[in-house]
């Protein structure tokens, strides 16, 4: 479990290293949502996603000379690699052999040593733990770690400073680290604010888990939201979120593509699928009628131009008459 | 001709109405360009492009109750429509019958009355002048107007305030209004800064005109840079630019698409083709070796997601082996 003080301490650790990302407004989105909407643009964060906050905070607590290892096919890999480089540590990153070349290259570009594993047959946690023990590395988990959660919570700390009168805060949910960190901040500072998590329909493990009161494993979800593909909530994140989160809603992949296109065309902002679920939930009316302003975390922007073109092209083609 | 004072006056008129757009940095772009690069993100301007600055400035000088007319297939149409609405004026916009539906809708969305004309057979200037006379409207030209040029120049005024030590300023060139306004500011305040205009290869009318010392008409250029499709420089903009501009360089459509993809993937920013020519020139080494920091105006972001997908998809397909 974490407390507000942990997030405030994280904010001091990442100060000057992570970007204080801007909050962006759109009159068109306000009309669509029927509320004043404030987008917290974590797609403009270093390494392209909020993940840098948690990774940097975790690494900043390690003794000098301690190197790190992480497993991730996506934003956590890049975040750990960049945070390690900035702190003069070496980073070993376990990535699936079929990870997108762009993500492999980005991770290497930040100085990370990439080790491949077979997604279908290998147990990445076991490999990571074995390598950590063998090489004396610190394993940096993507969400189920209080220091990582506290780092992610700095997103909400900034948002509450940037916007005075929020009524609802909307946060994407994968393993639940960003949601847990943000909920901790929001409920400590402004308990009246409703906190809503958003999952892809196919990966609704947190919705099911919170509804049933115990962690549910939904297997590997089939969704374009590759950053929200956790099979089940983390053990620590679940304990936080079951206490603090008001509601979980889900969105379809089609709604996510529409939100990505809206962010592109009207806000001129690039969001990856996972980053756009909050806007998708707003645009499709999944967030109940807000009585006041809504803060939405656009959590990441790591989508290739060609991948975006494919997603939008497929949507576009689907919209054409037969 | 315009002077620094005209631009400063424009800055006071648009204050609080136009956005003071951010300047964005990228370590990767610095490496590619071999210089510190500062991107002036006019794609985040109201109505999606710098055009709002000039349109608002022009309209703000008109007497109360005076309505306006403009001809444009693109950003100038939206800019005039929005500026008119904000000032309580009615805007009539002449748009080609084959203009993209999205641009027609955006112009109507800002409250503009759209009148269609046939691009091949009709003379839009003659129609606009006739309508202006008949209905008592003020014709707002897209670039060849000192008040419009002065408004566009506020882009450079802000850039010089935001970045202290620029060595080069790079500006897209269509009719030359943005370039003329920016050159006026730069040469008045920091005559040592080199000012470079960028045109599409197919629409190099300003390059030819400056080289020959007289306005050259190149016909309707075939380029994806639809905002830079002027056939010849304006009469006033040419007089300013021949005196103040150091150099014009050109870029290919392929280089523009690569720059759009870079801005998307690394900066998380949406640029339309015309907006990306400055970054394209930098990335392809067309701007001679800079000795100091470079300011680049990313002039607009009005590209549809489907259009972007097509441009990137074609590029992507072209890059695949046979």
Per the annotation, the verdict on A292 as an active-site residue is no
As to burial, measured by CB atoms within 10 angstroms (0-12 exposed, 13-18 middle, 19+ buried), residue B317 is exposed
**Measured between CB atoms, does B31 come within 8 Å of chain A?**
no
- For A220, the token pair is 């590997």
Cα B19 versus chain centre, distance: 16
CB-based contact (8 Å) between B279 and chain A? no
Question: Is B180 found in the same domain as B130?
Answer: no
Does A184 share its domain with A305?
yes
CB-CB neighbors (< 8 A) of B310 in chain A: 309, 313
Residues B90 and B206 reside in one and the same domain? no
The average pLDDT across A245-264 equals 97
Question: Mind spelling out the 3-state secondary structure of chain B?
Answer: CCCHHHHHHHHHHHCCCCCCCCEECCHHHHHHHCCCEEEEEHHHCHHHECHHHHHHHHHHCCCCCCCEEEECCCHHHHHHHHHHHHCCCCEEEEEECCCCHHHHHHHHHCCCEEEEECCCCCCHHHHHHHHHHHHCCEECCCCCCHHHHHHHHHHHHHHHHHCCCCCEEEEECCCCHHHHHHHHHHHHHCCCCEEEEEEEHHHCHHHHHHHHCCCCCCCCCCCCCHHHCCCCCCHHHHHHHHHHCCEEEEECHHHHHHHHHHHHHHHCECCCHHHHHHHHHHHCCCCCCCCCCEEEEECECCCCHHHHHHHHHHHHHHHCCC
pLDDT at A9: 98
How close does chain A come to B261, measured CA to CA in Å?
Answer: 6
Would you state the structure tokens that stand for residue A291, as one six-digit string? 């009585």
CA distance B280 to B170: 11
What does the pLDDT read at residue A124? 85
pLDDT of residue A314: 62
Concatenated DSSP letters for A114-149? EEEE-TTT--HHHHHHHHHHHHTPEE--SSSSHHHH
Cα B90 to Cα B84: distance, rounded to the nearest angstrom:
6
Low-confidence ranges of chain B (pLDDT < 50): 317-322
> Is A199 a catalytic site residue?
yes
CA distance, residue B302 to nearest chain A CA (Å): 7
Q: Give the confidence band of A319 by pLDDT, cuts at 50, 70, 90.
A: very low
Q: Is A309 on the interface with B (CB under 8 A)?
A: yes
pLDDT exceeds cutoff 60 at A322: no
What's the confidence (pLDDT) of residue B314?
A: 62
What's the gap in Å between the CA of B44 and the closest CA on chain A? 7
Taking contacts as CB-CB distances below 8 angstroms, the residues of chain B near A310 are: 309, 313
Which one of the listed residues A26, A72, A73, A274 is annotated catalytic? A73
Comparing CB atoms, the residue among A44, A48, A312 nearest residue B309 is: A312
Question: What is the CA A110 to chain-centroid distance, rounded?
Answer: 19
**In terms of domains, do A134 and A271 share one?**
no
How sure is the predictor about A289, in pLDDT bands with cuts at 50, 70 and 90? confident
Q: Are A161 and A184 members of one domain? A: yes
Of the residues A139, A173, A192, the one at which a domain ends: A139
Chain-chain contact of A260 with B301 (C-beta, under 8 angstroms): no
Asked whether the beta carbons of residue A268 and residue B270 sit closer than 8 angstroms, the reply is: yes
- Res. A193 pLDDT band, cuts 50 70 90: very high
Same domain as A44, residue A77: no
Which of these three, A91, A109, A139, is where a domain ends?
Answer: A139
Domain end, chosen from A120, A139, A158, is at A139
Query: β-pairing, A194-200 with A247-251?
Result: parallel
Residue B139 near residue B147, CB atoms below 8 Å? no
Supply the range of the domain harboring residue B56.
51-139
Cβ-based burial of A183 (10 A; exposed 0-12, middle 13-18, buried ≥19): buried
Residue B26 annotated to the active site = no
Is the domain of A101 the same as that of A195? no
Give the pLDDT of residue B318: 46
> What's the whole-number average pLDDT of chain A?
93
Judge whether residue A318 has pLDDT over 80: no
Among A265, A300, A313, A319, most B C-beta atoms within 10 A, so best to mutate, is: A265
Question: What pLDDT does residue B320 have?
Answer: 41
What's the gap in Å between the CA of A209 and the closest CA on chain B? 34
Q: Which of B39, B41, B50, B265 to mutate to test the interface with A (most CBs of A within 10 A)?
A: B265
* Structure confidence by residue, pLDDT tens digits, A130-149: 999 999 999 999 999 999 99
CB proximity A304 to B under 8 Å: yes
Cβ-based contacts of B256 with chain A (< 8 Å): none
For residues A292 and A267, the answer to whether their CB atoms sit within 8 Å is no
CA B61 distance to own-chain centroid: 21
Is there a catalytic annotation at residue A265? no
Tell whether B182 and B257 lie within a shared domain: yes
CB within 8 Å: A309 and B316: yes
Count how many domains chain B has.
2
Domain identity same for B88 and B168: no
Query: Is B51 considered catalytic here?
Result: yes
* pLDDT surpasses 80 at A315: no
Mutate to test the interface with B, among A42, A44, A78, A309 (most CBs of B within 10 A): A309
- CATH value at residue B266: 3.40.50.1100
């Amino acid at each position: 479990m974490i407390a507000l003080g942990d997030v405030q301490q994280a904010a001091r650790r990442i100060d000057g290293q992570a970007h204080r990302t801007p909050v962006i407004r759109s009159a068109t989105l306000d009309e669509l949502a029927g509320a004043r909407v404030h987008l917290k643009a974590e797609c403009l964060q270093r390494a392209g996603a909020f993940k840098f906050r948690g990774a940097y905070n975790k690494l900043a607590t390690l003794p000098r000379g301690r190197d790190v290892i992480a497993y991730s096919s996506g934003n956590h890999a890049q975040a750990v690699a960049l945070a390690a480089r900035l702190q003069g540590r070496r980073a070993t990153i376990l990535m699936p052999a079929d990870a997108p070349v762009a993500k492999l290259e980005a991770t290497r570009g930040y100085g990370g040593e990439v080790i491949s594993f077979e997604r279908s047959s290998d147990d990445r946690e076991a490999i990571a733990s074995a390598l950590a023990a063998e090489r004396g590395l610190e394993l940096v988990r993507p969400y189920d770690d209080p220091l990582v959660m506290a780092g992610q919570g700095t997103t909400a700390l900034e948002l509450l400073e940037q916007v005075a009168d929020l009524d609802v805060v909307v946060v994407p949910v994968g393993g639940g680290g960003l949601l847990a960190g943000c909920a901790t901040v929001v409920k400590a500072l402004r308990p009246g604010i409703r906190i809503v998590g958003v999952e892809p329909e196919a990966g609704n493990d947190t919705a099911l888990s919170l509804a049933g009161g115990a962690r549910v494993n939904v297997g590997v979800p089939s969704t374009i939201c590759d950053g929200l593909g956790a099979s089940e909530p983390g053990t620590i994140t679940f304990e936080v979120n079951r206490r603090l989160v008001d509601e979980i809603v889900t969105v379809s992949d089609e709604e996510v593509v529409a939100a990505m296109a809206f962010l592109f065309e009207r806000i001129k902002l690039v969001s990856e699928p996972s980053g756009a679920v909050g806007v998708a939930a707003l645009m499709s009316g999944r967030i109940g009628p807000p009585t006041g302003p809504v803060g939405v975390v656009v959590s990441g922007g790591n989508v290739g131009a060609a991948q975006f073109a494919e997603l939008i092209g497929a949507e576009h083609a689907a919209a054409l008459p037969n």
